[in-house]
Amino acid sequence: MITDQMGEMDTTFDTLANMSPEGIKMATIVIATLPIIMVYPFLQKYFIKGMLIGSIKS
pLDDT of residue 3: 57
pTM score, whole prediction: 0.49
The 3-state DSSP class for residue 18 equals coil
Give the C-alpha separation, 54 to 41, whole Å: 21
Helix residue ranges, H only, the chain? 2-17, 21-55
pLDDT interval class at 50 (50, 70, 90): confident
4-46 tens-digit pLDDT: 656 666 666 677 677 788 988 999 999 999 999 999 999 999 8
CA angle 3/11/32 to nearest 5° reads 130
pLDDT number for residue 30? 95
Domain boundaries, the chain: 27-57
Residue from 21, 1, 3 nearest 11 by CA: 3
pLDDT at residue 18, as a whole number: 77
